[in-house]
Amino acid sequence: MAKALLRGSLISLGLAGALLALAVQAAGNNFVVTGSQAANEKSCVEPTDFMRRNHMEVIKHQRDETVHGGIRSTKHSLAGCIACHGAKGPTGDLLPVNDERQFCGACHDFAAVRLNCFDCHATVPTEQKGAIQIGW
């Protein structure tokens, strides 16, 4: 019993430590890649705290709206995330999203989230007719 309790508190200590590490990272403002468009924006499409916790729900909702309803204009869009958060390489082009310098991949690695959107989705948004079309 006492052993289990001890193990429990050790685990929660460990968890708290991990969260602290996340918080420290966040406080250092390095949740946004330097040089990306997002680095110059005051906030994301929703408040930052909300996006940290709910970006997957937001994208999932949008994907259904897009595929079934043909709605492609809203501010929630996977291509939009990449276009805004994506770091650029020395040539000024967006780096592929699975590059280790990139926002999605780096954070998902840290949180041990297996990221597979980009098994099917383009890893860099392609430009179409002169402008990136958000909402695909």
Partner 1 sequence: MNNSSEEIDQGRRGFLGAAAGVASMTLAPGVLLHTIASADPRSERVTDAVRYGMLIDTTRCAEGCTACVTACNQENGLDLQQMPASMDPEKWDRQEARWIRKIKLEDNLTGRVTNLPMMCQHCEHPPCVDVCPTGASFKRSDGIVLVDRHLCIGCRYCMMACPYKARSFIHAEVEEKLTLAPRGKGCVESCNLCVHRRDNGETSTACADACAAQGHHAIIFGDLKNPESTLSKALAAMPSRQIRENLALNTGVRYSGV
Q: Which residues bind partner 1 (CB under 8 A)?
A: 63-64, 67-74, 79, 119-122, 125-126, 128, 133, 135-136
Q: How far is the CB of 36 from partner 1 (least distance, A)?
A: 17
Q: Among 79, 91, 70, which Cα is nearest to 128's?
A: 79
Q: How far is the CB of 46 from partner 1 (least distance, A)?
A: 18
| DSSP letter, residue 93 | S
What is the Rg, in whole angstroms, of the alpha carbon atoms belonging to the chain? 18
Cβ-based neighbours of 56, under 8 Å, separated by 6 or more = none
Give the span between the Cα atoms of 22 and 29, in whole angstroms. 11
Which residue, 46 or 65, has its beta carbon nearer to partner 1? 65
Which residue, 14 or 89, has its beta carbon nearer to partner 1? 89
Q: How far is the CB of 34 from partner 1 (least distance, A)?
A: 24
Which residue, 2 or 119, has its beta carbon nearer to partner 1? 119
